Amino acid sequence: MKVATNSVDNAMIAQMQTLTGQEAKLQAQVSTGLNITAPSDDPSTYSSVMAEDSQSLAINQYSSNATTALAIGQATSAALTQVKAVADSASQIGIISSGTLTGPEMASYGTQVDQLLQEAVQLGNTQFNNSYLFSGTAVTTSPFAVTTDVNGKITGVSYAGNNSQASIPISSTANVAPGSDATTNQGLATFMNNLIALRDALNSGNATAVSTAQASLATTENTIINGVAELGSVQARIQVSQSQQASLSTTIGQLVSNQTSTDLATTVVKLTQAQNAYQAAVQSAASLMQHDLLTYISVQ
């Protein structure tokens, strides 16, 4: 049976196109190191890789959130720890002043307490990244407002923030509130007012009032200690989550690499075979075209 020349030519062209496509695909794999560069290469694996990439993006966001949360927590802890140091100094003064001191001696200590009060207010109004740390979620509001007398001496402190806490997601199943809670924030205002009471008792030389203020300071100091401990606990949770997210990110990255990376040695062999097949096809096509031309000439 005689086969039409056009059919043979079309088949040969189709074969060469197929070989060209295979060669181009293998060249891309060799140059990129990837065996999947388009959905058509392996639809099932490509879909799986896209899902894993989406999960990886989510993990990156959670990691970024955790970094932010940890920074807020650490800044809050640092400020609150400094307030604790102020409280320790005030307590020592209160203990010393409960004894037999002269009026001028007590007034001298009163001056020191007044300086501690100003330091406490400054620490209470600490900002981090332009946000007040002890205002709850009212981060643009200075949390501790003071009233002063005609001489500029602080006579009272009130809390101007709110009782809410910002919650930050650090994984698909966990949120944390890295800042101080309402009890701590309100306790700081009470602590500052207790400092005012201690200062005024010292300035008046009233040992009984000093003892009363000292007892109140001890109570609010416990609130500060509890706040520091709670912040430390939250930071530990964040760090555990960071470790878990980093491990998960590594696992997903390795999985994607295993699914998409090409075996270079095997791919190079396949590329060589495809190139040889293409050259053979070209030579066959040239031979066939020469035969057809001779046949045509002899018929003529």
Residues 61 and 188 in one domain: yes
Instruction: With respect to residue 43, please indicate whether it lies within any of the assigned structural domains.
Output: no
String of b and e for 150-175 (b: at least 16 CB within 10 Å)?
eeebbeebebebeeebeebebbeeee
Residues 181 and 290 in one domain: no
Mean pLDDT of all residues belonging to the chain: 80
Residues 198 and 285 in one domain: no
Rounded-to-integer distance, Cα 184 and Cα 156, Å = 18
Instruction: With respect to residue 37, please indicate whether it lies within any of the assigned structural domains.
Output: no
CATH number at residue 128: 1.20.1330.10
Instruction: With respect to residue 7, please indicate whether it lies within any of the assigned structural domains.
Output: no
Write out the residue range of the structural domain in which residue 280 sits. Answer: 263-300
pLDDT winner (highest mean) among 88-97, 193-202, 255-264: 193-202
Residues 210 and 285 in one domain: no
Q: CB atoms < 10 A from the CB of 107, how many?
A: 15
Q: Residue 29: its pLDDT value, please?
A: 57
Using one digit for the tens of pLDDT, what is the confidence trace for 81-103? 999 999 999 999 988 887 677 88
Residues 173 and 269 in one domain: no
Provide the percentage of residues in the chain whose pLDDT is more than 70.
67
Using one digit for the tens of pLDDT, what is the confidence trace for 157-183? 999 999 999 999 998 889 999 999 999
What is the number of structural domains in the chain? 2
Instruction: With respect to residue 75, please indicate whether it lies within any of the assigned structural domains.
Output: yes
Please tell me the pTM assigned to this model.
0.72
Q: Residue 167: its pLDDT value, please?
A: 94
Instruction: With respect to residue 45, please indicate whether it lies within any of the assigned structural domains.
Output: no
Q: Phi first, then psi: give them for residue 141, nearest 5 degrees.
A: -105, 130
Low-confidence winner among 15-29, 55-69, 221-235 (lowest mean pLDDT): 15-29
Residues 290 and 215 in one domain: no
Instruction: With respect to residue 33, please indicate whether it lies within any of the assigned structural domains.
Output: no
Residues 155 and 81 in one domain: yes
Instruction: With respect to residue 105, please indicate whether it lies within any of the assigned structural domains.
Output: yes
Residues 157 and 293 in one domain: no
Q: Residue 152: its pLDDT value, please?
A: 92
Using one digit for the tens of pLDDT, what is the confidence trace for 67-80? 999 999 999 999 99
Q: Residue 81: its pLDDT value, please?
A: 96
3 state SS for 156-225: EEEECCCCCCCCEECCCCCEECCCCCHHHHHHHHHHHHHHHHHHHHHHHCCHHHHHHHHHHHHHHHHHHH
Residues 118 and 153 in one domain: yes
Residues 250 and 274 in one domain: no
**What is the DSSP secondary structure assignment for residue 134, as one 8-state letter?**
T
Instruction: With respect to residue 84, please indicate whether it lies within any of the assigned structural domains.
Output: yes
255, burial (CB in 10 Å: exposed 0-12, middle 13-18, buried 19+):
middle
Residues 192 and 293 in one domain: no
